[in-house]
Every structure is written in C-alpha cells, then in structure tokens.
Amino acid sequence: MKVLVTDPIDDAGLDALRDAGHEVETGYELEGEDLLEAVSDAHGLIVRSGTEVTEEVFEAADELVIVGRAGIGVDNIDIDAATDHGVIVANAPEGNVRAAAEHTVAMAFATARSIPQAHIRLKDGEWAKSDYLGAELNGKTLGVVGLGRVGQEVAKKLDSLGMDIVAYDPYISEERAQRIGAELVDLEESLKQADFLTVHTPLTPETEGLISEDELDMLGDGYLINCARGGVVDEDALAAKVEDGTLAGAALDVFAEEPLSADSPLLEHDEIIVTPHLGASTEAAQENVATSTAEQVNAALVGEPVANALNAPSIDESAFPRVEPYIDIAETAGKVAAQLLEGRIENVEVTYEGDIADEDVEFVTASALKGVFEPLEWQVNAVNAPQIAEDRGVDVTESKTRQAEDFQSLISVTVSNDDDAVTVDGTLFAGDDPRIVRVDGYRVDAIPHGKMVVTRNTDEPGVIGLIGSVMGKHGVNIAGMFNAREAHGGEALTVYNVDSEVPDEAKAELNDDERIIGVNYITLNGQS
Ligand SMILES: NC(=O)C1=CN([C@@H]2O[C@H](COP(=O)(O)OP(=O)(O)OC[C@H]3O[C@@H](n4cnc5c(N)ncnc54)[C@H](O)[C@@H]3O)[C@@H](O)[C@H]2O)C=CC1
Ligand SMILES: O=C(O)C(=O)COP(=O)(O)O
C-alpha cells in the first residue's frame, strides 16, 4: 500500500513502513493541488505540523485509511472530516514530551538571561556585559496553563530548580496537581501569581486567544513562554505589551501562522526571543514519534487496532486477539438485523453475554454499527459508524451480562423503531467459526455468508417445497438452509444461503402465497 509522508520524519519510521512492505512516497513541499493529487491513491498519510490536512484532502483521498501525526498537536488535521470519511487519525502523544519540556525550560532560561540577545551582540563584536541583568528562576513562581504531559514535565523540572508552581487546568484533578507539587488555581490567579507563565494547552476553539490583552495585564512584568501552540496567545497583544515595556520578556517556539512571516511584529523586539517550532526537534524525540507513528499506520493498514487513534474506537493491543474474532460476527449480525427491519432504524442495541462481556468491546460495537449502516450508506467503517448513528439520530446502547444461557459468548444486535424490532444473535463455534444462532427469536444455525434469504411462513406441509421451486424457477440455487419454528403448525422462519441474488419477481411470487408471511433477501457483501 502507499504511504505518503508530507513532513520530514526520522528514517526509523520510513524504514518501518518499508519493512512492512509499503511503498513510501515523500513529498515535503506538497501543497494545494499537488497534495490532493499525491494523496488520491494513498492508503496512509503521515504528517507533522507542516501539513494542513483539510476536508478537501479527505475528499481527494478515496483510499485513505489513516492519517498518522508524528507528534502531538493535531490542530492542523480536520478530525471531524476524517471521521466523516472513515479515516483514522492517530498521533504520537509520548515520544516528544521530554524534548518539548526541555525546550520550554531552555526558553525560560534564555528569556530570563537574555541569552540569544547577548549572543548576537557578542558575535557582532560587542561585549555588552553591563546591559544584561537577568532574573533567576530559583525562588520565582511558575504559572503553568495546561497541566498535561508536557506541562507536568516542565513543572517537575522547574520545581526541582527551586520554582513554586501554580497551574491552571480545568480538566485535571487537584490530587494529580499535588502529586507533582503544583497548586491548582484559576487562570486569573495563575497569571497574577506567576513570574513566568508557560502555556501547554492544545489549540482548540476554547484555548484560542486564551492569553490576550487582559491576561497579559494580569501577568504584569513577568515573562511569557509559549512552546505549545501559536494561536493560544494573542501575538499582537503580546508584541504591544513588550513594546510598552510592561512584559519583562517572552519566548516563543510556536506561532499562529507558520512559518512566521518576516514582517511579524514579534520579530521587532529583542525581548521576544523566538525559535522556529523546534520543541520536538531532538534526535531521540524524532526517532520516537516516527517509529510510533509508522507502527500505527502499519497496524491500521492490516486492520489491527491503532494505539493512539483519536477518532476511532480503541482496543488495548493485548486484548485484541480475544476480541478480534467477534468483529465480523458483530458486523454480520448488524447487517442481517438492519435488512430484516421494516422501516427506519431508530435504535440499535448491542448486547454481550458470557466471556465476551469481560472484554473492551467498543470496537466490536462500532463494527456492529458498521454492519447496521452498511446496507444504507456507502463509505461506512468502524471509524465513522458511531458518528453516522449520531448524525442520523439513532440511539445506540451497549449492554453486557456475564451470564450466558447456551453459548460461551453471544453477541446480539437489535435494531428497532416504534413499530418493529429485530434481534439477530451471533456466536463463534469452536472459537472461530461464526454462526447466526437466533433470528428474531427463532433458533437457527446459519453460516453467515454472501447472499441469504430469510423467509417467514406458516408451518405447514409443502411451504419449503414451494420456496424451493420458486427459487429454482428463477435460477436461484439454494446452497444451504436452516429451518426453525415456534411450535408445530405455528410460524416458521427459514434462513437460506443462496448462490445468486433473488429477483423481485421471485419475492413477489412467494409473497403472493398466503402461507408466506415475509421474504427478505439479505446480502452480506455491502449494499443490498
Ligand atoms: N513546540 C513543540 O514542538 C511541541 C508542542 N507541543 C504542544 O504542546 C501542547 C501540550 O502537549 P501535551 O502536554 O502533550 O498535551 P496534553 O493533552 O497532555 O495536555 C494538554 C493539557 O491542556 C489542558 N487544557 C485543555 N484545555 C484547556 C484550557 N482551556 N485551559 C487550561 N488547560 C486546558 C488539558 O486538560 C491537558 O491537561 C500541545 O499543544 C502540543 O501540540 C507538544 C510537543 C512539541
Ligand atoms: O508534537 C507537537 O505538537 C509539535 O508541535 C511538534 O511539531 P513538529 O512535529 O515539530 O512539527
């Protein structure tokens, strides 16, 4: 398969992709139409922060299975569009944390001691010793905005250098903050207390412009460090606060627009020191993130779970072998149920009984939903099926019970609306032999395969013969069948495996017979 890599990643990642047999195409300058063209036959796409992966990219990429982000921030990837197109987005959330934290610490020292400014003057032959009187970090207060992986690492490092730590992060627990020696406060308090404020949030609609003029006023004559994302800090307000001498200094690794334009006001002030988004640029970090991303792309391309998928149901790698055999039968049960229901699907319930109830089944439920929607939608997979359910206003419930009546593990998919409900149960015989064992309450033993017909009829002599002869007349060969009935003389249900599609005339002819209650032709190969 083809993996397109549009930002430079370490060779270790490229080698891992090639070793898995993929064709790797690198295109580090690709944009616009060239990017759309290059991605049109790609199965995997790997980016860093330099590529905007927009809806247009997903529209152009019919074969795309996964976008791997060799790093943390995914603000350059339209994840909603990825989900709509059934494409997994996965990042590498661990590999560059230390590098980003070390860079932040370096930037704190660099701004506090004016290292870049003094360096340039000395290179220019000027011994400007008396112009620089720096600030010590020891004994000062560090305000951390966003106490996630990087924020915590920075807090730990600067705590050990004698700083007091206050942090603002509405999504982490007091206990977590305390464990790393940080006091959780609100944003205002963190700004007021901080001598150095460091930003470590993702860029989201909520964090965009989080640090603007008012917040910088609260920081007063402190230092601001941003090695997270450009848009979190208002650059014009920052430049103005440095210009008017309010802020002592700032150190920025990231910018709202990258590469930073040469006429940015941020470049006009010596007190604002800048690096070109170097936080993750260490050999170790790049090797880590490239390897982790390549592994995830390789996994996705063979249908295995993706460890850090951001928009797909996740499965713990160690649990996957136990869950994997149920993925297909869940999808099949969903497909059969959806095709048997009369009218619109309003609810889907997926029930797990027995051993399978002990497992993390998020992916299996998503596969059942894939089965439910596949007869109705073109591009549905386990990534976008939950979203499709939400978009269509379909209520999805999942339930588990450790008790199983007749099977070691049983998966039931029920689709329903106000007027009707159909339940299809599936299991695995001998560990891996998929079977449909109940349809709408009837015990059957059907091998889910290709094309099937489900008939409901009164239980009386000659009906099966009638069905067989009508099928035969229309050239439909019956490959297998399983018949079940409520009670002698009551209603019966028969599942047939057939070798070809059942023409409408055959269905009509059967439906004309008063002994036939219903005939459903079901295909397990995508759309009906
Ligand atoms: N300069 C560089 O090269 C690098 C930049 N980064 C960036 O650093 C940032 C942090 O990365 P991680 O720590 O790994 O992410 P993370 O997801 O582990 O942590 C982010 C933290 O921000 C918090 N947060 C979210 N919204 C918030 C809000 N409105 N106010 C306050 N806190 C909020 C979250 O609760 C979370 O604890 C990301 O933007 C990432 O892209 C990461 C690595 C390298
Ligand atoms: O991992 C992140 O979030 C980073 O910002 C690193 O970006 P990069 O991979 O160096 O473009």
Burial 167-177 (b: 16+ CB within 10 A, else e): bbbeebeeeeb
- Asked whether the beta carbons of 103 and 228 are under 8 A apart, the reply is no
DSSP code of residue 341:
-
* Number of Cα atoms under 13 Å in the Cβ half of residue 283: 0
420 and 323 in a common domain = yes
Using the mean position of ligand 1's atoms as its centre, give its distance from the Cα of residue 139 in Å. 25
265 and 217 in a common domain = yes
143 and 89 in a common domain = no
Structure-block tokens of residue 494: 């028969």
Q: Report whether residue 98 contacts ligand 2, using a CB cutoff of 6 Å.
A: no
356 and 453 in a common domain = yes
Coil/strand/helix, residue 480 = strand
Integer CA distances (angstroms), 13 to 5, 289, 367, in order: 10, 8, 30
Give the H or E element holding residue 478. Answer: strand 478-485
Q: Is 276 inside a domain boundary?
A: no
Q: Closest residue (by CA) to atom 11 of ligand 2?
A: 49
- Asked whether the beta carbons of 522 and 528 are under 8 A apart, the reply is yes
CA distance 233 to 208: 7
pLDDT at res. 449: 83
pLDDT at res. 526: 52
* Domain span holding position 226: 115-270
Ranges under pLDDT 50 in the chain = 527-528
Bridge partners (DSSP) of residue 494 are: 455, 483
Could you tell me how far CA 99 lies from the centroid of its own chain?
Answer: 24
155 and 258 in a common domain = yes
216 and 160 in a common domain = yes
136 and 205 in a common domain = yes
Q: Report whether residue 435 contacts ligand 2, using a CB cutoff of 6 Å.
A: no
What are the DSSP calls for 49-113, one per residue?
Answer: TT--B-HHHHHH-TT--EEEESSS--TTB-HHHHHHTT-EEEE--STTHHHHHHHHHHHHHHHHT
149 and 39 in a common domain = no
What are the DSSP calls for 356-375, one per residue?
Answer: GGGS--HHHHHHHHHHHHTT
Query: Is 353 an active-site residue?
Result: no
Q: Closest residue (by CA) to atom 40 of ligand 1?
A: 73
324 and 193 in a common domain = no
pLDDT at res. 527: 45
332 and 472 in a common domain = yes
ipTM over 0.95: yes
CA distance 431 to 332: 17
Nearest Cα residue to 412 out of 525, 326, 339: 326
Q: Report whether residue 203 contacts ligand 2, using a CB cutoff of 6 Å.
A: no
364 and 235 in a common domain = no
CATH assignment of the domain containing 46:
3.40.50.720
Q: Report whether residue 151 contacts ligand 1, using a CB cutoff of 6 Å.
A: yes
Nearest Cα residue to 372 out of 152, 165, 528, 190: 528
CA distance 111 to 135: 9
Q: Is 235 inside a domain boundary?
A: yes
Cα distance from N-terminal residue to C-terminal residue, the chain? 29
pLDDT at res. 489: 80
Strands 478-485 and 23-26: unpaired
Q: pLDDT per residue over 240-286, tens digit each?
A: 999 999 999 999 999 999 999 999 999 999 999 999 999 999 999 99
> Exactly one of 48, 85, 98, 229 is catalytic; which is it?
229
